[in-house]
Chain A
């Protein structure tokens, strides 16, 4: 038994989990009754899924060797268009259930279209992901702002709030959705043939191409899938805030990159595990919740998150160099 535990903690994911436990313990001890309270745990359980899904989406793209800077704006742009339809139908007297379904479907469709756009520009035209998604980020933000005129879309039917705010058997619905997404992403990335190709492309697109992998097609599809994940996060956010706005979740962009990298995804692509990302998401979530409980200024939280990202990459580099020397 001891040996099993020891072996578990010596893996990359095990070490991460150990770090998670340590930080959790630390937060619990220095804020008695506050961090480990039902209220805080519950609020984390509602926040974690949207962040986690965005991180998984980012991770998939990073594994291909790219990065998706338009991630959060894909989520908010699709949520705004879908939300607009939803509230318009609701105001027009359609049945609430129908408006919710049409609205959510539209959110997924819009995100898929964003993915088609990104995928086309990156894989078929060959623009570097960094630049393509940087441009798309501003583009989606501009399109969103053009619709909302800087405000927020609201007036959703009350049934829509169920998605982000209710519980099944005491478990928050977002958490249930999150678990399904985790399993789905794991099966897709680590167990399917396409997932295998994604890792290969991340290692070397040229080698993959000569090994018979349809690089362009798979990259194209990967962007669509990643964008669909972003839409799911968007649905959760819109439901939780009961409104849609272009700036929702924008702080998750940096954190999603951090979570992927902290979870062991190589920033150069070709490497990364779903489990690692999930544990990293949990670590970042308890850090930001903890800082919030200690009354940390929210700007300082951004400073901490940026510092964590740089620190993790610096440590990765030093560790890699050490093992390379051996």
Chain B
């Protein structure tokens, strides 16, 4: 029974997570405060939401390096809708989700229909989307987000006063993350699409022969990532209360690192919602720990790079060992 909840792959991750938390807590007691945990949660909501979309993409054996430019574009669109068009929150969410999904759809079409390798296709769309965004905004920030949207972003769930008398509580933006997790889990576990995602990651050709509509599934996966980018854009804008087109430079690496850390093999076919959740948490705590331990910010990139290479290397080495064992069994 226990094995079903925490599979082989995720148990070591949990152990690392706890171990790391203990080390950071010893180095800086400020880590173990409820304020710090709320802070970590709030500042990584965007990462978490986008990570679940990236999980699906990686599961199909693909990759999406355009997500950072996509969220930059969507936040700019949302910001403009809010400032110049209407302060209606639902309209803003609609604009964000539609524009995000459309961008993801383009990625999906390029990859599924024109058979362009995901890394190259999304590298291309990244350049186009980011270039257009920076050209149209000239890198300028969008400020003056309407008051109702700002106060919506400030709502706290289960508020209570901490020792200093300050009111703290779960940020409302958590309400966006929960359905994202549930939805991704549902898609992966309970739908034909989810099975197709794993099948494509294993082997696209045999997935097709099994009768999966691989083109449609791939298009869905990239559009879903775009959809989540739209939601993440709303969360980001409501937390930051302004839009900086340059805020997401290099952010795609963090999203990929977090998912890979959670055990999604980039060869596709492996990885789970729980793994990604742990991966994102682990990644957030590492980042937070670096700050609390006063390690210079430049180290963050080194850590991200090492995480990506290290966790996949471990994955590959394990696989090699398993294969060797299998061969030995065959011989005997």
Contacts and interface: CB of A to CB of B under 8 A. Distances in A.
B306 to A, nearest CB: 6
Given A128-B267, A314-B110, A306 B302 contact: no
Interface stretch (B77-85, B127-135, B194-202, B229-237): B127-135
B124 A142 contact: no
8 contacts: A127-B313, A130-B63, A141-B301, A142-B298, A303-B131, A303-B132, A306-B131, A317-B115
Interface of B: 63, 65, 110, 114-117, 119-121, 123-128, 130-132, 134-135, 250, 253, 256-257, 260, 266-267, 296, 298-309, 312-313, 316-317, 319-320
B302 A149 contact: no
A82 B65 CA distance: 30
Q: Which of A67, A136, A141 has the most CB of B within 10 A?
A: A141
Interface residues of A, number: 45
Nearest to A127: B312
B120 A257 contact: yes
A139 B301 contact: yes
A299 interface: yes
A145 B305 contact: no
Nearest to A137: B305
Nearest to A69: B119
Nearest to B302: A142
A125 B63 contact: no
A237 B313 CA distance: 33
B256 to A, nearest CB: 7
B315 to A, nearest CB: 8
Given A139-B309, A140-B305, A146 B296 contact: yes
Contact of A309 (B120, B298, B312): B120
Q: Which of A69, A128, A146 has the most CB of B within 10 A?
A: A128
Contact of A302 (B127, B266, B267, B316): B127
Contacts of B296: 146
Interface in A261-320: 261, 267-268, 297, 299-303, 305-307, 309-310, 313-314, 317-318
A44 interface: no
Nearest to B314: A125
B120 A149 contact: no
A137 B301 CA distance: 9
A313 B131 contact: no
B309 A127 contact: yes
Nearest to A135: B308
B249 to A, nearest CB: 11
A254 interface: yes
A126 B119 contact: no
B320 A126 contact: yes
Given A132-B312, A139-B309, A314-B116, A309 B256 contact: no
Contacts of B307: 135
B135 A300 contact: yes
B123 A138 contact: no
Interface in A80-107: none
A310 B302 contact: no
B299 A146 contact: yes
Given A139-B309, A142-B299, A314 B256 contact: no
Contact of A299 (B124, B131, B298, B301): B131
Contacts of B303: 142
Nearest to A297: B135
Main secondary structure of the interface of B (DSSP, over half): helix
A207 B124 CA distance: 32
Contacts of B266: 128, 130-131
Contact of A135 (B114, B116, B306): B306
A176 B313 CA distance: 41
Contact of B119 (A67, A125, A310): A67
Contacts of A116: none
Contacts of B115: 317
Contacts of A253: 123
Nearest to B132: A303
Contacts of A299: 130-132, 134-135
A300 B312 CA distance: 36
A307 B309 contact: no
Q: Which of A69, A135, A299, A307 has the most CB of B within 10 A?
A: A135
A19 interface: no
Given A142-B300, A254-B127, 11 more contacts: A121-B309, A127-B309, A128-B267, A131-B266, A136-B305, A138-B253, A261-B120, A301-B131, A306-B125, A309-B123, A310-B124
A268 B117 contact: yes
Nearest to B319: A126
Q: Which of B117, B132, B267, B309 has the most CB of A within 10 A?
A: B309
Contacts of A307: 124, 128
Given A302-B127, A306-B126, A313 B305 contact: no
Contacts of A121: 309, 313
A268 B116 CA distance: 10
A138 B308 contact: yes
B128 A303 contact: yes
Contacts of B304: 135, 138-139, 142
A196 interface: no
Given A267-B117, A302-B130, A142 B305 contact: yes
B302 A127 contact: no
A134 interface: yes
A130 B34 CA distance: 39
A43 B296 CA distance: 39
B260 A145 contact: no
A97 B132 CA distance: 46
B81 to A, nearest CB: 22
Nearest to A120: B313
10 pairs of A and B residues whose beta carbons are closest in the complex: A139-B305, A306-B127, A142-B301, A135-B308, A142-B302, A302-B131, A303-B131, A138-B305, A135-B309, A299-B135
